[in-house]
Structure 1
Amino acid sequence: MMKMNYCYRQTKTIEEYLQKLEVAKQLIKLLPTHPHIEENIRRRSILKSSLFSARIEGNKLKIEDIRDENLERKPESLAKLEVYNISKALRFLYSSNCPKKLSINLLLNLHRLAMKDIHPEAGCLRKEPSAIFNQAGVAVYLTPPANHIPLLLNKLIKNTGIGKKPIPIKAATCHFAFEKIHPFLDGNGRVGRLVTAFILKRGGFDFRGLVSFEEYLDEKREIYYQLLEERGSNITHFVEFYLEGLVYQVEKVITEIKEFKEERHEDTLLPRRREILEIIKDHRMVSFDFIRRRFMKIPESSLHYDLKKLLEGKFIKKLGSTRGVVYAVNNSY
Structure 2
Amino acid sequence: MKNAYQPPCTITAEILKLAADISEQIGRFSVSHLSDSALRLRRINRIKTVHGSLAIEGNTLSEEQITAILEGKRVLAPPKEIKEVENALGVYDQLEEWEPSSLNDLLKAHQVMMSDLIIESGQFRSSGVGVMKGQDVVHMAPPASMVPTLINQLLLWVKESQDHPLIVSSIFHYEFEYIHPFADGNGRMGRLWQTLILSRWNPLFAWLPVENMVFKHQKQYYGAIEASTRCADTAAFVEFMLKAILETLQDVSQTTPGVTPEVTPEVKKLLRVLKGEMSRTELMGKLSLKDEKNFRLRYIQMALEAGLIVRTIPEKPNSRLQKYRLSNRGMNYQKRLKKA
Fold match, TM over 0.5?
A: yes
> What's the Cα RMSD here?
2.4
1:212 match? 209
Aligned partner of 1:196 among 191, 194, 197 = 194
Secondary structure in 1 aligned to 2:219?
A: helix
1:115 and 1:21 mapped to 2: Cα distance? 32
**C-alpha displacement of 1:13:** 2.2
2:131 match? 132
1:100 match? 99
Contact persistence 2:60–2:81 (CA under 8 A): yes
Q: Write out aligned runs for 1:82-161 (5 A).
A: 82-94=84-96, 98-134=97-133, 136-161=134-159
Unaligned runs of 5+ in 2: 263-340
2:196 and 2:177 mapped to 1: Cα distance? 16
1:239 and 1:128 mapped to 2: Cα distance? 29
Query: Which whole-Å deviations, capped at 9, do the CAs of 1:239-277 have from their partners, x for residues lacking one?
Result: 1110000011112222233266899xxxxxxxxxxxxxx
Percent identity of equivalent pairs: 26
**Structure 2 residue 162 is the aligned partner of structure 1 residue 164:** yes
Contact persistence 2:147–2:179 (CA under 8 A): yes
1:65 match? 65
Q: Write out aligned runs for 1:273-312 (5 A).
A: none
**C-alpha displacement of 1:11:** 2.7
2:256 and 2:128 mapped to 1: Cα distance? 47
**C-alpha displacement of 1:19:** 1.2
TM-score by length of 1: 0.70
Structure number with greater Rg is 1
Query: Judging changes above 3 Å, is the alpha-carbon distance between structure 1 residues 74 and 65 closer, same or farther for their aligned structure 2 residues?
Result: closer
Query: Judging changes above 3 Å, is the alpha-carbon distance between structure 1 residues 161 and 34 closer, same or farther for their aligned structure 2 residues?
Result: closer
1:328 match? none
**Structure 2 residue 18 is the aligned partner of structure 1 residue 17:** yes
1:195 and 1:261 mapped to 2: Cα distance? 30
Query: Judging changes above 3 Å, is the alpha-carbon distance between structure 1 residues 221 and 71 closer, same or farther for their aligned structure 2 residues?
Result: farther
1:27 match? 28
Secondary structure in 1 aligned to 2:139?
A: strand
1:21 and 1:165 mapped to 2: Cα distance? 15
Query: Judging changes above 3 Å, is the alpha-carbon distance between structure 1 residues 51 and 147 closer, same or farther for their aligned structure 2 residues?
Result: same
Contact persistence 2:169–2:198 (CA under 8 A): yes
2:52 match? 52
Structure 2 counterpart of 1:250, which letter?
L
Q: Give the 4+ runs in structure 1 shifted more than 4 A.
A: 30-34, 71-76, 259-263
1:214 and 1:84 mapped to 2: Cα distance? 17
Query: Judging changes above 3 Å, is the alpha-carbon distance between structure 1 residues 164 and 74 closer, same or farther for their aligned structure 2 residues?
Result: farther
Contact persistence 2:210–2:245 (CA under 8 A): yes
**Structure 2 residue 82 is the aligned partner of structure 1 residue 80:** yes
Query: Which whole-Å deviations, capped at 9, do the CAs of 1:185-234 have from their partners, x for residues lacking one?
Result: 11111111111111111122x42633101111111111111221233331
Structure 2 counterpart of 1:226, which letter?
G
1:239 match? 238
Q: Which moved more, 1:17-26 or 1:108-117?
A: 17-26
Contact persistence 2:69–2:86 (CA under 8 A): no
Structure 2 counterpart of 1:60, which letter?
T
Query: Judging changes above 3 Å, is the alpha-carbon distance between structure 1 residues 245 and 146 closer, same or farther for their aligned structure 2 residues?
Result: same
1:31 and 1:186 mapped to 2: Cα distance? 36
Secondary structure in 2 aligned to 1:214?
A: helix
Query: Which whole-Å deviations, capped at 9, do the CAs of 1:159-201 have from their partners, x for residues lacking one?
Result: 1122321101001000000011111111111111111111111
